[in-house]
Structure 1
């Protein structure tokens, strides 16, 4: 399974979605704009954007919620080690209240992986981040990033786009 995403204005992205009604596209808002995301076996409908292979997926993407994407650049030499780390994870977040979905995404081009989690609310994510389970899941991670991280990882956050927001625009 693959995942595809691109950014743009809500109007522009909704026009793309209208041309491809057979594909369920999720819209997410941030301060920087709107992101369109969907999962499919192979069909990429975006002329620009990013494509990923879903290496690990659990839960179901929902129309409502809060999305956190940890964007992690990884060197070519470090990809196998990095992927093994996730394949051997304990799936602790999946059991937390408010958890909806997890996706571990390998880039089809480039070197930036995405670890996507979706939560019912921002508060649910904060509860996870401040939990003992989070500390345990991330223990042993050095304060210094591994050598296979050529650049510092960064986080992007989104609230799922709700259609009634369109009336206010």
Structure 2
């Protein structure tokens, strides 16, 4: 499974892509991103410099809801295996949270930044998750000797960043 996040709607940019699945649009302060999930990799001629390409490593739920959180995490080439193992062995508690819609753990195909995308019915559901025991459990190793964030040498070349969006279906 693959996911594409673009600042351009692939259907509008490439009329020959009409056979591809519909895209969802996400908005943040006037910034629009289009998201498409598809079983096969898009041909290079349809992808553009405005499109980020990912392989879906892990998923739960569906793409939808009304609020998306994209945690963008740069990872060194040497750290990819450890990082991916961490997410493949995640607690999977988020899927049980009220308002949870979906999660996608995305491996970058063209750069070094992984994306952990969670989708929610609303922003208040995401905020409730952040205050929950399940969230504390999922992040309990952060900043400890067992945590991936304190391993040396660091597998993170730059700080991660989070961006939130409202989702238009």
* TM-score, L = length of structure 2: 0.85
Alignment counterpart, residue 160 of structure 2, candidates 146, 153, 159: 153
- List aligned pairs for 1:10-159, cutoff 5 A: 15-16=12-13, 20-22=17-19, 23-40=21-38, 41-44=40-43, 45-48=46-49, 49-62=51-64, 64-142=65-143, 145-146=149-150, 147-159=154-166
**Post-superposition, which runs of at least 4 consecutive aligned residues in structure 1 deviate over 6 A?**
none
Q: Is the 8 A contact 1:73 1:150 kept in 2?
A: yes
1:15 Cα deviation after fit: 2.6
Matched positions, count: 158
* TM-score, L = length of structure 1: 0.85
What SS does structure 1 have at the residue aligned with 2:114?
Answer: strand
Runs of 5+ unmatched residues, structure 2: none
Q: Is the 8 A contact 1:67 1:117 kept in 2?
A: yes
Q: Is the 8 A contact 1:68 1:156 kept in 2?
A: yes
Provide the C-alpha distance between the structure 2 equivalents of 1:27 and 1:53, rounded to a whole number of angstroms. Answer: 19
Provide the C-alpha distance between the structure 1 equivalents of 2:84 and 2:114, rounded to a whole number of angstroms. Answer: 10
RMSD, aligned CA:
2.0
